Structure 1
Amino acid sequence: MALVVGGVFLVRQYRAPDVRLAGLPAGGVVNAAALDKGGVAVTAPEGERLRGAEVTVDGKRVPVRGAGRELTVGLDGLGDGTHELKVATEGSMLGGGSELTRELTVDTTPPKLAVADPEGRSLRGPVTVRGRAQGATDVTVAGRNADVGKDGRFAVKLPRPPAKATAVATDAAGNTAREDAVVTVRRPLLRAVHVSGQAWASDQLREPVLKLLEEGKLNAVQLDIKDELGEIGYDSKVPLAKRTGAAKGYYDAKKAIKEIHAAGGAVVGRIVAFRDPILASASWKDGHRDRVVRTPDGGPYGAGSKYGSLSFTNFANKDVRQYHLDLAAEAAKLGFDDILYDYIRRPDGKLSGMSFPGLGKTSPEDSITGLVAQTRAVAREHGAFLGVSVFGIAVTRPKEIAQDIGALAKQCDYIAPMIYPSHWAAGEYGVSDPNSHPYPITKKSLADFVKKTRHTDAQIVPWIQDFSLGVSYGDAEVAAQIRAAADDGIHSFLLWNPGVRYHGGALKPMQ
């Protein structure tokens, strides 16, 4: 550059700016993450600009993006190994350019990670996750650091078994590998009877159930959290339950759990999910109409059905889903040993006559399975098992009510099929009169559930009919169903009687 100052001719030498390489991980290694971000950055000092920069890698020109004092050098397709990066900037007619040469090491190969699926003994005790991460310098499991041996083997002790424990292995270059370990904790033998919230508040109904526990004929009580009316049996603190008036306070949850535990039983908390007239009616009235299953023309679904309109909430609605996640979390924190969903389905009927706002392109089956998976994570966090009650027909006809047994079995601890003999049509499974023949219809229908869930960790805990509907049921009929389940290799069960009066003579003391 030339200037004339006070008659004196001055010459200032132009000097191209020194450039620097930025954006490399420690050690100058380009890892997979750097390549995913588009490459590495070349920068000039503050106040300087890069002019006409030409960038080559191993002598071949590569594309650059940006302007001013920073350029991004594209390294797409660059293989692992050592490479030479050269950045040359042009000078002026009175000054030379600047050149930067750097040796780059590209390493995009992640560690080899393998994690074993552990089996825990209890949801409220520790579990150890083991594996091997060859080439890793650091390993975490569920966010906890692991000690990595010279051969890459590691072990991490978790205070409680999550449904899924994610292991992350990182090498010196910063490349990572991830793998999920599915933690299995099998639900121990479960033999329970259904008790509604109001029934538990009745000495006349509660005491016989406690006696069956004390006699060793049962080892659990299924106590309703939220029932078919949408009523919550205890004084729930879940905000939506308070706002809608669903929390009734028929029983003291902590006291009931303590009493059942003292009698030697576990407590299975039943949540009737989407049959919920309280939430449906309150939501419709308050203008939250997408919480409700709709007709194609926008009205509430169910008019003329056995349930009536404003009886089913919309499983695809985020508020409805969160309501059930909140109830499950609250119950597990209170000490319920299991969360058991019921009516976790769409209404029966033609799908063309229903609308589920928010469902989008997701199928009803996948949407419901997704909520089950979310609930399992919540329940597991607080040490509770998760069961899912399903229709008997769902094992062969999953789309009729959106219960995909194979998919659900992968996201819960047990499937509870409602295979009541009185609910089967004549001729199902080749049984002419299922209600009068409880053994064959139970055995044949449960065999399908065993087959459908064979490649999952879910157990089968069937609902057994202990009520009369068309045919009188007593000790013999209840015992026949229990025997049929046992002949299918199923020794757990839940007895259902809406009046909460059970045939203890059908039950044998457990060994």
Structure 2
Amino acid sequence: MNRLSSVLLRLFQSVWSFYILKKNHLLFVTGALLLLAGGYILFHARESATTAPVHADSTPALQLPEGGSIVDGRIVHECKDGDTAQKLMRLYYSHSRIFVRDDLKEALVRENSALSSRHGCKKGDLISIPEPIIEPLKNRPLQMTGPIRAIYLRGENAVPGRLSAEVRRMKRVNANSVVFDVKDILGVVNYKSSVAEVEKYRRHPAPIPDLPKMIDYLHRNGIYVIARTAMFQDENLSTVRPDLAIPDRNSPTGRLLFKGRPLWVDPGHPEVQLYNLKIIHELVQLGVDEIQLDYIRYPAEGDLSGVSYFQVKNPLDKTQHLKEFLAAAWILTRTTDVKLAVDVFGVVAWGEEADRNSTGQRLEAFAPYVDVVSPMLYPSHFNRGFDGFGQPADEPVYFYKVGNQKVREMMGANVIIRPWLQAFKWRVSNYNESYILRQIQGSDAGGGEGWMMWNAGNEYDVVYRALAGERTVELVDHIDPRSSEKVN
């Protein structure tokens, strides 16, 4: 609790100074509410002496569809004209533990003689829903003892059929975690949210049909659930709320554009932060194991000469805004066993002021407010000549070993370092199973605890082959010194 007390004190000092110096009433009120919430958490935690895992109840199951009722502990549907197996599957998907939709449809037909896959059922027929969910799901964060070995999936690939197929492949090679997009870099929230603003601003359908049920399915399979949410690169929010976009005097629209699109919102704006905090709070309630914050930074690409940011007069102000946001998110996760993680540019581990100034990512400032840091140390993302290497992409051992060590120096001993690994061939001379294993070994040698595989297209054949034949590979500084000639 000392750590929480310290955070609350820092938040109070920051909020009060903003109020005194800038008379920003909205920020002051928002901060005061967060402080009150944090104070309640602190008091409640001190009063509660229990060793049981802390969790939050998931959102209750939806009300039964018309025609549905609970009879002797079963869910029963009374058929109407036009009811088919497909229709009943859709209506009752959230009320059955059967995860794959086609499997539920087959079970409905198999267990109900009155229901035909071709002709449906007759008016008045009673259909029993297989493996019913009677009580609200209560997802609890898993208590994992070993390193996390994760595979990343886009939101549209976290749908039941594809996800279950991926889980089968994962379990064959002892991968034990899924990272999936709850909010992607376009700002699409991939599940139906109870946050009013999310649904008000929605312009895209939500592909995940039932997030609590998905979490329950993954937990029953021993899979650690990491909810990745892109913070401040959010084209959807920037489009529907242009007042929250980053102003740019050089832009024809007055907003910062990348290839003609308004991809970013202002990271320091109180409404932007509050919108994301509401999503984080909902994820805590749903019972994910870890909330991973990506794009927890300011833009660093393109022509930024004409931009201005909310209450940023110097680069340290960027870090301050990000730090205060992280502190608020950290408080929201302290009532449960949910971990808070951040993704950071790999290059910021080298501490170059130009990178820290542009992004606002100063790892030592983030350290008190996160449980996990995930540096994106993809070797291909370091330019030719970086640290003297002619082909950085061909140096997986070096960049993961040294990168993790540098992150540890900045973050201290209390934060888990779990890097993103490069599961794609861009710029790599010989992308194969050995390349995957060398990244893992380099990360382990640098103090990494587990890993996460990134492939934007979610194509992991090389990864699964590597893990299936996982073996000890000699740890060397270079894969092939001839292809990675040092640059003087």
Aligned partner (choices 405, 413, 422) of residue 371 of structure 2:
413
Where does residue 227 of structure 2 map in the other structure? 269
Aligned to 2:26: none
SS at match of 1:225: strand
Q: Which has the higher helix share?
A: 2
Deviation of 1:156 after TM superposition, in Å, equals 6.6
Equivalent residue, structure 2, for 1:446: 404
Task: Tell me by how many angstroms 1:368 deviates.
Answer: 0.7
Amino acid at match of 2:225: V
Correspondence list, 1:136-285, <5 A: 142-143=42-43, 157=49, 189-201=147-159, 203=161, 205-215=162-172, 217-245=174-202, 248-251=205-208, 252-284=210-242
Alpha-carbon distance change, 433 to 234 in structure 1, aligned in 2, over 3 angstroms: same
| CA displacement at 1:223 relative to structure 2 | 1.4
The alpha carbon displacement at 1:505 in A equals 2.3
Q: Distance in 1 between matches of 2:346 and 2:45?
A: 45
The aligned counterpart of 1:346 is 298
Q: Would the alpha carbon gap of residues 474 and 141 (structure 1) be closer, same or farther in structure 2, given more than 3 Å must change? A: closer
Q: Which ranges of structure 2 fall in alignment gaps of 5 or more residues?
A: 5-39, 55-142, 471-488
Q: Whole-Å Cα distance in 2 between the matches of residues 186 and 457 of structure 1?
A: 17
Note closer, same or farther for the CA distance 1:450–1:144 as it changes in structure 2 (3 Å cut). Answer: closer
Indicate if the aligned counterparts of 1:461 and 1:490 stay in contact, CA closer than 8 A.
yes
Alignment equivalent of 1:479, drawn from 418, 437, 454: 437
> Does the alignment pair 1:383 with 2:337?
yes
Equivalent position amino acid for 1:493 in 2: W
1:426 alignment partner in structure 2: 384
**Counterpart for residue 282 of structure 2:** 330
Counterparts of 1:63-78 in structure 2, within 5 Å, are none
Pairwise CA distance, 1:357: 2.7
For 2:2 and 2:197, locate their aligned partners in 1 and report how far apart those are by CA, in whole Å.
41
State the 1:239 CA deviation: 1.3
Mapped to 1, the partners of 2:188 and 2:469 lie a distance apart of: 34
Q: Which has the higher contact order (CA 8 A, sep 6+)?
A: 2
CA apart distance, 1:436: 2.1
TM-score, scaled relative to structure 1: 0.60
Q: Which residue of 2 aligns with 1:32?
A: none
TM-score normalised over the length of structure 2: 0.63
Equivalent residue for 1:504, pick from 464, 467, 471: 464
Aligned-pair identity (%): 24
User: Which segment is superposed worse, 374-383 or 264-273?
Assistant: 374-383
For 2:369 and 2:195, the matched residues in 1 are separated by 24
Paired residues of 2:231 and 2:294 also in contact (CA < 8 A): yes
* 1:423 shift after superposition: 0.7
CA contact (8 A) 1:189 1:491 kept: yes
* Distance change (3 Å), C-alpha of 1:319 and 1:145: closer
Matching residue within 309, 312, 320 for 1:366:
320
Q: What amino acid maps onto 1:214 in structure 2?
A: K
Question: Contact (CA 8 Å) 2:248, 2:254: kept in 1 or not?
Answer: yes
SS of equivalent residue, structure 1 residue 432: coil
CA distance in 1 between counterparts of 2:308 and 2:395 reads 39
| CA shift in 2, pair 1:509/1:436, >3 Å | closer
> Are residue 469 (structure 1) and residue 426 (structure 2) matched?
yes
Q: Kindly name which structure, 1 or 2, has the bigger radius of gyration based on alpha carbons.
A: 1
Residue aligned with 2:229, SS = strand
CA distance in 2, matches of 1:264, 1:375: 26
Shift of 1:359: 4.5
* Change in CA separation of 1:484 and 1:218 when aligned onto 2, cut-off 3 Å: same
After superposition, what is the alpha-carbon deviation per residue over 1:269-302, rounded to whole angstroms, capped at 9, x for unaligned?
0000111110000002xxxx1x111114785443
Q: Which runs of 5+ in 1 are unaligned?
A: 1-114, 119-139, 147-154, 163-184
Q: Secondary structure at the match of 1:353?
A: coil
Q: 1:142 to 1:353 in 2, by over 3 A?
A: same
Question: Where does residue 269 of structure 2 map in the other structure?
Answer: 317
Whole-angstrom CA distance in 2 between matches of 1:377 and 1:141: 8
Q: How many residues align?
A: 336
- 1:312-371 alpha-carbon deviations (Å, 9 max, x no partner): 001111111011111111112112111001111111147653211344777001101110
